[in-house]
Amino acid sequence: MTDRQDVPTYFVYGEPTRALDVGFFHVETVMERRSVHFGHVSPHKHPQMGQITYWFKGGGTYRIEDRTWNFSAPTVSFVPSSVVHGFDVEEHSDAVVISISDDQLRSLASSVDLPLDTPCLLEGSPGDPAWIRLDHLSDMVVDEYLGTTTTSPRLLAGLIGVMLSQIARLGGGGDVTEASPSKRLANNLRRAIDQHYREDWTVARYVTLLSTTPHLLDKAAKETFGQSIKEMLMERRLLEAKRLLMFTIRSVEDIAREIGFDDPAYFSRFFRKRTGISPAAWRQNRIKSSRPDGDADPTDVRIQAR
């Protein structure tokens, strides 16, 4: 079996991984990248986002971690971040791939019926009304992502949430892979960080909470998420800072206190070190880019009508 350290990580298949914006979505078809993979997508992972892959025609072989399935459309999978996956498909196969940043998945978790930290894969029947509904939801996500004028992030998030719940209704929810002890430990760490990052816990407190050792916990974090425990803590605080800067009008000083920084100047240095600009400048840039006449992201790949 391939060593997880050797498994490539991508933004989307064939593109180097990069930091994602808060509330990031990306939608495209598998065959838009045909010239990159020619129907063979080698095992890979995405460190900061999960993916829904809805196969609406064709079939082939799909891999998640160490398991492999033969499938034919309609088939849908949900793969959380850092889960290894890949596929080989027939010439006329295609799927809609919906990528959702981890921070957006966290915000959806309480309102959807599908567990968002475990992978699933389901195969259906073309005439089944429940699968026809999933197909319609997929079309709605594509239409909203394309947008005739501007895309509504809230509406897009809502549609994706409904799609995730529909996958649960179809039978999703059971982990199709048997998670290793290291992966379970890493997932428990991420949940613990989500609960306690504002309290500025030390690494030792997480070690005690999870009844493990510093070495095992750091090893699990690096193997699963490609980050040390300290890096995961800092990234979680940075993520929340970006959310509050983007979606609220609270002052930088107030945001600093909210995420556990008593000294606003130290928070500004922390933020600048990781983004290259101050919190106030980052907020201003985000406001500008969200306007209708703002510059579009040149890396944003739009799906073609299917």
Closest by CA position to 56, among listed 126, 137, 161: 126
Number of domains the chain contains: 2
Does 43 lie in the same domain as 21? yes
Q: Give the global pTM.
A: 0.76
Is residue 299, in this structure, part of any structural domain at all? no
Among residues 60, 58, 54, 103, the alpha carbon closest in space to that of 79 is found at 54
In a domain, 149, yes or no: yes
Say whether both 162 and 185 belong to one domain.
no
User: What distance in Å separates the CA atoms of residue 46 and residue 214, rounded to the nearest whole number?
Assistant: 25
Domain containing residue 21: CATH number: 2.60.120.280
Are 208 and 136 within one domain? no
Same structural domain for residues 29 and 64?
A: yes
Instruction: Spell out the per-residue pLDDT of the chain, length 306, in tens.
Output: 444 456 888 888 888 888 788 889 999 999 998 888 899 999 998 988 999 999 999 999 999 988 899 999 999 999 999 889 999 998 899 999 999 999 999 999 999 999 998 899 999 998 899 999 999 999 999 999 988 667 788 899 999 999 999 999 999 776 666 667 888 899 899 889 988 999 989 999 999 999 999 999 999 999 888 889 999 999 999 989 998 998 788 999 999 999 999 999 999 999 999 999 999 999 988 777 655 444 444 334 345 445
In angstroms, the first-to-last Cα distance of the chain is: 36
Confirm whether 301 is domain-assigned. no
Q: Which residues constitute the domain of residue 218?
A: 181-290
Whether residues 146 and 207 fall in one domain: no
Q: Do 117 and 55 fall within a single domain?
A: yes
The reply to whether 286 falls in a domain is: yes
